[in-house]
Amino acid sequence: MSTLSKLTSVAFATCLATSQTVFAAEDPVKILVLDDMRGIFSGNGGPNTLLAVQMAVEDFDTSSLGTTVEVLSADHQNKADVGSSLAQRFIDEQGVDAITFGGSSAVGLAVQGRAAESKVITMTTGGYAPNFVGDQCSPYGTQWAPTTRELARGVAGTLVDQGLKDWYFITADYVFGRALSTDAADAVVDAGGGMKGETLHPLNTNDMASALLAAQASGADVVGLANAGSDTETAIKQARSFGVGDKLAALLFFSNNAQALTLDVAQGIRVSTSFYWNMNDTTTAWAERFMERNGGQVPTMGHANAYAATTHYLKSVAAAKSQDAAEVTAMMHSLPVDAGILENASIQENGRVVYDMLLAEVKAPSESTGPTDLYKILSRIDGSDFFLSAAESGCPLVN
């Protein structure tokens, strides 16, 4: 690890090894968590994604693997060149078998492409662009995070049906933000609504004034936030000053955003999500253990995705009796995904993980019973016909 540290001053690594009897100690199963550990998306994924992966390893019966499991981590800083370089270095120097990642989708796509060339499994747990299972799909990749299409349609279609037909978008100017606004605009039009305009903003901006003024002047019924992380929080905080605070729809919003903003500021915002911490008995039990270890931070869907993906990967390694990427990927596609963390989940031919989604609303302070009671669930969305099929995805690997 000292060699790797010298090569990558921005990286850090941690190791978790099980205490099981080892069949081939020289060949442990190695999982790399490559994420935004300190930047604008670190609350959505970051250190708590690392914790989720570690918990999945701890909870798994690793004696079925016949070897140890190591969890490594690094910070890609939301830079595609850094992420790609780190992935290659961990592949070459550490021999990682699988990479799970989140943060910027541009970074994730670079990492997935590099890993595919080296026949390394990737699990997209916090990347929301559709390209991961679309035109840039990998024969060894699965996407556990919902794409911009599902996130947008879960919110936009519902609000248009309620009569909020005219939309203005404030969009982060990179691959994820543009994809999210495009998918949301399509959902608005499909539901009978229309577009009033759009303002693009740079990633990680502190000033949303011009975008919010343009949204206000448009007269739109809804101001859709096609961004994430601290950009979303900044827009929500500043929106009230420009008279559009009650018109916001956050197209990618996490429980940590609600905690950071407080319910006073975030109340009433509607969100689409694959996970909420107390949506069933399994998620509640897991989330309570999770929060005991991180100071009470509610797990996001990215954290839940990381736990579910790692568990399924280890289950598949054990069933395949192999660490070969092709054999394990085939097993991941054939084995059922455990119920609970993600409901009614399965994996399509293109690597898309399909499951039921939730439409939720951030509670008002008067509705909340405590600091972790953040959402009320408005409806459940059947995932079986909500996600694009593999044939429609544009993945060149699909026959």
> Mind listing the pLDDT tens digit for each residue in 291-348?
999 999 999 999 999 999 999 999 999 999 999 999 999 999 999 998 789 999 999 9
Q: Does 209 lie in the same domain as 155?
A: yes
Q: Does 246 lie in the same domain as 363?
A: yes
Q: Does 69 lie in the same domain as 45?
A: yes
Q: Does 374 lie in the same domain as 228?
A: yes
The pTM assigned to this predicted structure is 0.88
| Cα distance between residue 69 and residue 80, in whole Å | 27
Would 392 be classed as within a structural domain? no
Reported as a single tens digit per residue, the pLDDT across 375-392 is 999 989 999 889 999 999
Domain that holds residue 91: 2-146+280-354
Reported as a single tens digit per residue, the pLDDT across 249-266 is 999 898 989 999 999 999
Q: Does 191 lie in the same domain as 264?
A: yes
Number of domains in the chain: 2
Would 170 be classed as within a structural domain? yes
Range with the lowest mean pLDDT among 23-37, 194-208, 286-300? 23-37
The answer to whether residue 15 scores a pLDDT higher than 70 is: no
Q: Does 249 lie in the same domain as 296?
A: no
The answer to whether residue 21 scores a pLDDT higher than 70 is: no
SS3 298: coil
Q: Does 296 lie in the same domain as 185?
A: no
Which is it for strands 357-362 and 270-273: parallel, antiparallel or unpaired?
Answer: antiparallel
Would 399 be classed as within a structural domain? no
The answer to whether residue 247 scores a pLDDT higher than 80 is: yes
The strand ranges marked E within the chain are: 29-35, 69-75, 98-102, 121-126, 141-143, 166-172, 194-201, 222-226, 248-250, 270-273, 346-347, 353-354, 357-362, 375-381
Work out the average pLDDT over 85-113: 96
Q: Does 198 lie in the same domain as 231?
A: yes
Q: How far are the Cα atoms of 21, 196, 276 from residue 343, in angstroms, in the given order?
A: 34, 36, 11
Q: Does 256 lie in the same domain as 365?
A: yes
Identify the band that residue 43 occupies on the pLDDT scale cut at 50, 70 and 90: confident
Structure tokens at 123: 């699990």
- Starting at the edge strand found earlier in the chain, the sheet holding 270-273 runs 270-273, 357-362, 375-381
Would 301 be classed as within a structural domain? yes
Q: Which CATH number fits the domain that encloses residue 52? A: 3.40.50.2300
The answer to whether residue 208 scores a pLDDT higher than 80 is: yes
Per the model's pLDDT, the better-predicted residue between 286 and 204 turns out to be 286
- Is residue 310 within 8 Å of 56, Cβ to Cβ? yes
The answer to whether residue 12 scores a pLDDT higher than 50 is: no
Structure tokens at 327: 């054999």
Q: Does 167 lie in the same domain as 80?
A: no
Which residues, 6 or more positions from 341, have their beta carbon under 8 angstroms from its beta carbon?
Answer: 275, 282, 283, 286, 304, 307, 308, 311
Give the CA dihedral 298, 303, 304, 306, nearest 10 degrees.
-170
Residue 274 sits at φ, ψ, to 5 deg, of: -90, -5
Q: How much of the chain exceeds pLDDT 70, in percent?
A: 93
| Cα distance between residue 70 and residue 21, in whole Å | 14
Write down the pLDDT at residue 122. Answer: 98
Write down the pLDDT at residue 10. Answer: 38
Write down the pLDDT at residue 19. Answer: 33
The answer to whether residue 187 scores a pLDDT higher than 80 is: yes
Would 330 be classed as within a structural domain? yes
Between CA 343 and CA 348, with CA 344 as vertex, the angle to 5 degrees is 120
- What Rg value do the Cα atoms of the chain yield, rounded? 20
Q: Does 77 lie in the same domain as 7?
A: yes
Residue 194: beta bridge partners?
A: 166
Identify the band that residue 9 occupies on the pLDDT scale cut at 50, 70 and 90: very low
Identify which of 164, 345, 146 has the alpha carbon closest to the alpha carbon of residue 252.
146
Would 91 be classed as within a structural domain? yes
Would 391 be classed as within a structural domain? no
In the predicted model, what is the mean pLDDT of the chain?
91
Rounded to the nearest 10 degrees, what angle do helices 46-59 and 301-320 cross at? 40
Cα distance from N-terminal residue to C-terminal residue, the chain = 42
Write down the pLDDT at residue 154. Answer: 87
| Cα distance between residue 357 and residue 270, in whole Å | 13
Q: Does 224 lie in the same domain as 113?
A: no
Would 345 be classed as within a structural domain? yes
